[in-house]
Structure 1
């Protein structure tokens, strides 16, 4: 759909051109999200919502409330102007359970079309499968059952082998749970158990339960606040079934007013969380997942991922996201690849799978050096721990942060990193950072210095070789860096000058 010409002359997004927009007309909110950056790991440039609550009266009279429709249409009119002025050409508009189930849903969509949009009404199966693609995009190799909780419905769909299975849509959205229980949580639990006994959904053997939707994310925020974790992004939060049941028992007894006292839990979510906690209890007991994993990627991101070419889908989302982030901060991937290659023999990835972490750590370490010295370490740690990177766990985040510390010669690692990763993993990453430090300080990141020098481990020594015409690069600061890295690796430092390094 096209509302205007592409015109980013003003550079409003600081190097990230907006290339896609999605408008999600849901039962609770009507949301506009503008995406830019790497297609495999798109960044959110604008995220705005109107809390229209279109689905609030569906259970009672089967219609979208007039005031809710007016609120939604006012928001959509604003979105139309924003998208026109930003020159965004590709716009997907989708409507889900509330519009799908309402008798006046077609009349509402006619008014949406009159604004210049081309909305697509998703069936329950379409909604479930699209959300499943969002999970697959965020968690390569995802294996389990996706539970997408919206305002009007709960979508269940198994995922395995990079593909969704048969989908199911149940009328158990957050706006409908109060009616199912009639204000009594025991009654609600009984109604949910009865409904789910009829469900054909099943968790693949040894599979996870992937939780998609704003209410599940609010529940994750609650869990993180209670645990006092240093991390703030609910995406990727992982719980055992026992941990989830303990959490939901606490939430089901909580008063919404007390929940709203947490700064990151809105009034709307605080009202929904106790009933949603009862639903999650029933889901856990019904499907017996190995783990529960919260996904910030769902319907909207599933639309993006499902439309990518297969070779783009196959890219590593961590590397794609970090590459796009680092290139805007003076650390192009080509340079990071050369630096990683220069350091690999001295500071190799020691465990299977660490290669990608090491590459991401190199890019972030080089990017951190482009900001003010007093901010580098703290800002780099924030990037590692708090940005929404995909396909990385808490230990991996801590390793990124440790590498950034090593690159800045901050060897006394913060206590929070030690709570997220074992000592041996942090030491490995710290050495990645020290090797990056030696490399960049040796020749100021010049390509000639990378070509004329080599770092290797030989007979218990860490050997730095330099071609003769670049021997003067080895001075007191470089000697200190070589000695520091060698000491951490339990090697003896050595420097040699050669006429020419072998190709």
Structure 2
């Protein structure tokens, strides 16, 4: 389809107007959550009302509250003391930030004989109330955390903690059936009979879970530190170039191969290679046994690692529905533009300017184009010699929800070309295998269009410049109003010609007079 008309898109359809300035949503600008798990105690303070909020503060203490719980029925005394000390610190930090905390405790505290006593001690020492949730509620919140990152997604969410493992189904943005089990690594350690004993328990438990959850052949979302550790080891085994765990994809074959990889290597040597803590690494072999049986039982079409879980689910719980329904990537980019761009709002006009070059593109591609337009100028404070590297690193490594790994690299490459014509000698070269040649070409075109469009800053009320693109004829026309024509100087012309070359097109520039 030829893009021969000046695009008009005042409300950013199909994305809608920005929401983070709404007073009701600004109330979510800083939310603090304490997650008291069987293995770790973590404080997360979310900042920013965008649909994909920033992690203002994030601290984790490995306490192993659930260690030995199966034998003693009580919380690990050393872990209990460490957890109390950590929570006291977190409460003081939150007060310093002006943030109220919400605290949840999961399997270890809810099943321990002294769980209620521990909660009372925390209340007495810190003033913090702990909400002890049951297994089904834990599953629901974890699933909501996944929905924060994947709006409208469907599949099976599996959250593994130290003392339990939960399953929840999601479909159309809603949480369905939920179930909990004792398949946490800290519980498996105490099972008699060694590996054979564990395998028998895991197999029998998995049958019961399947009976409750029914047939599940969609995507499997993995939530929890042990799953992320296994994914990190899978990256090491594959020599995968992008070390971002969120949205990392695996399949059944990868799970089998990585389980063997773990079994064949010295755990300490492997731990040092991938940067996993001692406490976490000690649980990985047990979690790998569970994951193999989980995949064999439910046979998902693919597997996605989620860095979002209970804490994000608690934030999702507080979001109004109109915010839940928004695209997390676009809202995060809007927030970044409003906060850091030199000319907030220009991203919308830039999107209208470059959109004809992607006429007929699918919505998934257009949202990346939109994101790139919003982010095109947020790194202007970086030194000019390093801006290209900075924007690439930000896009590929930043906490942005709703992005597949190939989409991260596409976005990073487009922004790299916003500041640099050539990509040779940059960090992109190590990640080139993640994108197809066609995707690399599209990212280059988008970046060079941004690079040129950034030179045409004008008032929103001024009719400035627009493209007419005929892809079949490979013909690009740049139309300039009389007011905008002086903006087309030597540097702008050079950038335009660079874009033309990347398109493999013939080009002409026409000034539109008032008589036209």
TM-score if structure 2 supplies the norm length? Answer: 0.88
2:432 aligns with 418
2:346 aligns with 335
- Take 1:86 and 1:234, find their aligned partners in 2: how far apart are those partners? 28
Encode CA deviations 1:411-438: one digit per residue, 9 max, x unaligned: 3453234201111112112111111111
Q: Aligned-residue CA RMSD in angstroms?
A: 2.2
1:299 aligns with 310
Aligned to 2:384, the other structure's residue is in SS state: coil
The reply on whether 1:452 has 2:456 as its aligned counterpart is no
- Take 1:216 and 1:18, find their aligned partners in 2: how far apart are those partners? 30
The reply on whether 1:367 has 2:381 as its aligned counterpart is no
Encode CA deviations 1:264-305: one digit per residue, 9 max, x unaligned: 211011111111111111111111111111110011101111
The reply on whether 1:484 has 2:498 as its aligned counterpart is yes
**Preserved CA contact (<8 Å) 1:211 1:294:** yes
The reply on whether 1:396 has 2:432 as its aligned counterpart is no
Q: Mind listing any 5+ residue stretches in structure 1 that lack a counterpart?
A: 1-16
- Take 1:160 and 1:360, find their aligned partners in 2: how far apart are those partners? 26
Q: Mind listing any 5+ residue stretches in structure 2 that lack a counterpart?
A: 1-27
* Residues 22-421 of structure 1: pairs in structure 2 closer than 5 A: 22-89=33-100, 91-114=101-124, 115-180=126-191, 182=193, 184-199=194-209, 200-202=211-213, 205-330=216-341, 334-348=345-359, 350-412=361-423, 414-421=428-435
Encode CA deviations 1:3-38: one digit per residue, 9 max, x unaligned: xxxxxxxxxxxxxx9611001111111111111023
1:463 aligns with 477
1:440 aligns with 454
Aligned to 1:322, the other structure's residue is in SS state: helix
Structure 1's 412 and 349: CA in aligned 2 closer, same or farther, altered over 3 A? farther
- Take 2:264 and 2:515, find their aligned partners in 1: how far apart are those partners? 70
1:12 aligns with none
- Take 2:123 and 2:343, find their aligned partners in 1: how far apart are those partners? 43
1:140 Cα offset (Å): 2.2
The reply on whether 1:428 has 2:442 as its aligned counterpart is yes
Structure 1's 460 and 265: CA in aligned 2 closer, same or farther, altered over 3 A? closer
- Take 1:187 and 1:221, find their aligned partners in 2: how far apart are those partners? 27
1:467 Cα offset (Å): 2.5
- Take 2:145 and 2:274, find their aligned partners in 1: how far apart are those partners? 28
The number of equivalent residue pairs is: 483
Aligned to 2:191, the other structure's residue is in SS state: helix
- Take 2:462 and 2:267, find their aligned partners in 1: how far apart are those partners? 59
Aligned to 1:392, the other structure's residue is in SS state: coil
- Take 2:206 and 2:216, find their aligned partners in 1: how far apart are those partners? 19
- Take 1:292 and 1:453, find their aligned partners in 2: how far apart are those partners? 45
